[in-house]
Amino acid sequence: MMATGHRPVMLEEAVAALAPSNGDVIVDATFGGGGHSRLILEKLAPDGRVIGIDRDPEAAGRASDLLRDRRFSFRAGDFDEVLWALVDEGAWVDAVLFDLGLSSFQIDAVQRGFSYVNEGPLDMRMDPYAGISAAEFLNSVDESELVRVLINHGDVPRAEARRIAREIVRYRPLRTTKDLADVVRAAVGWKERGGNPSKRVFQAVRIHVNDEVRTLERALRATERLLVAGGRLAVISFHSGEDRVTKRFISEREGRCVCPPDLPVCVCGARPIFRRGAVLKPSQQEIEENPRSASARLRVAVRTAEPLEGHEDEG
Ligand SMILES: C[S@@+](CC[C@H](N)C(=O)[O-])C[C@H]1O[C@@H](n2cnc3c(N)ncnc32)[C@H](O)[C@@H]1O
């Protein structure tokens, strides 16, 4: 199948949460096809800036037209590494967006190996030049470790995860996405309800291969150092695991502050680093027009003026 375009998810809601205005510096940590970056640029003044980041080498090509806008720059790489590089450079930013997961460009390109519907090589790396492919992982991993990955990153029920892991080990080496989908089907059968069981298995393997949980945790810790007081964090996630990371990160930092919300600095002793904002879902209309948006959750938080000294500090 030909690669198709990516429809930005929760575009208006996410950009409203980032509140770009005047000369703000905004980081789009997951550039993809640039849907969010383009709308942010429309809202900024001539002295504003957008820094786009993506670890998929193909995303850089999609950013090339935007590079004609002097306010836009693109940095290729893992968002945690790029964000920590910005911390080291002494940068300050007004808002950071994470629109997590895959773009439709990636899902629809069968040679990238993300699709459990179309056959392609079992790869699943967002950056195909880094780390090990899904096939290398599945063909060498311990059965018990695989069970853990399926449960933790795919929310696969334990008994099912055990059956799937056993079948994978029995049938390997696996080479294509169809090999994996066939093995999953052999292990747990086809369910009329609850969707294709391969969906969660592919998700779990993809999250593991791309080290998505730890990368997001490190990136969020860089973000709290980069944001100015009043700076906005917006995270769109597509499954409970990545949403849990963001939720935990924010709740660990909001303290139990009982100060009036208009006070810039906490005086009650709770010293919150972030104030929690809304948790939004896509509208019914968006879900109908773009079913891939259905599982999206947008979490928003605002950086307080509290310094980080005394709080946990690790890169
Ligand atoms: C859902 S898409 C973003 C779509 C984009 N907001 C748009 O409207 O076009 C997610 C993008 O983030 C990238 N990505 C995911 N994790 C990343 C990471 N750790 N570092 C850098 N880029 C990442 C993926 O390669 C993908 O292109």
pLDDT at 2: 39
d(CA 230, CA 228): 6
Measuring from atom 2 of ligand 1, which residue has the nearest CA?
Answer: 103
**Mean pLDDT to the nearest integer, 213-230:** 97
**Mean pLDDT to the nearest integer, 51-64:** 94
Tell me what the pLDDT averaged over the chain comes to.
91
Single-letter code of the amino acid located at 203? Q
pLDDT at 314: 47
Ligand 1 center from residue 30 Cα (angstroms)? 3
In terms of domains, do 39 and 83 share one? Answer: yes
pLDDT at 1: 36
b (16+ CB within 10 A) / e for 61-70? ebbeebeeee
Q: Which atom of ligand 1 is nearest to the CA of 219?
A: 19
In terms of domains, do 205 and 222 share one? Answer: no
In terms of domains, do 282 and 135 share one? Answer: no
**Mean pLDDT to the nearest integer, 233-261:** 89
d(CA 40, CA 201): 35
Measuring from atom 27 of ligand 1, which residue has the nearest CA?
Answer: 32
Q: Any residues with CB less than 8 A from the CB of 163 and at least 6 apart, and which?
A: 187, 188
Q: What percent of the chain has pLDDT over 90?
A: 78
Q: Does position 3 have pLDDT exceeding 60, yes or no?
A: no
In terms of domains, do 278 and 224 share one? Answer: yes
Measuring from atom 3 of ligand 1, which residue has the nearest CA?
Answer: 32
E strand or H helix at 225, and its extent?
helix 212-226
- Per-residue pLDDT of 191-219, as tens digits, reads 655 678 899 999 999 999 999 999 999 99
Inside any domain, residue 5: no
Q: Which atom of ligand 1 is nearest to the CA of 79?
A: 20
Give the pairing type, strands 72-76 and 49-54: parallel
For the Cβ of 59 lying below 6 angstroms from any atom of ligand 1, the answer is: yes
Domain residue limits at 268: 11-104+213-303
Q: How far is the CA of 103 from the CAs of 34, 107, 141, 281, in angstroms?
A: 10, 6, 27, 18
Residue in 4, 7, 54, 65 to alter for ligand 1 test, most ligand atoms within 8 A of Cβ = 54
For the Cβ of 103 lying below 6 angstroms from any atom of ligand 1, the answer is: yes
Inside any domain, residue 88: yes
Tell me phi and psi for residue 83, to 5 degrees: -65, -40
- Domain C-terminal end among 180, 209, 238: 209
N- to C-terminal Cα distance for the chain?
40
- Domain C-terminal end among 209, 233, 263: 209
CB contact at 8 A, 279 and 240: no
Ligand 1 center from residue 102 Cα (angstroms)? 6
Ligand 1 center from residue 301 Cα (angstroms)? 20
- Per-residue pLDDT of 147-177, as tens digits, reads 999 999 998 999 999 999 999 999 999 999 9
pLDDT at 190: 66
Single-letter code of the amino acid located at 249? F
Q: Does position 50 have pLDDT exceeding 70, yes or no?
A: yes
Residue whose pair of structure tokens reads 């010293």 in the numeric block: 271
CB contact at 8 A, 6 and 28: no
Q: Does position 311 have pLDDT exceeding 80, yes or no?
A: no
Tell me phi and psi for residue 238, to 5 degrees: -120, 0
User: Domain of 257: which CATH number?
Assistant: 3.40.50.150
Q: Does position 257 have pLDDT exceeding 80, yes or no?
A: no
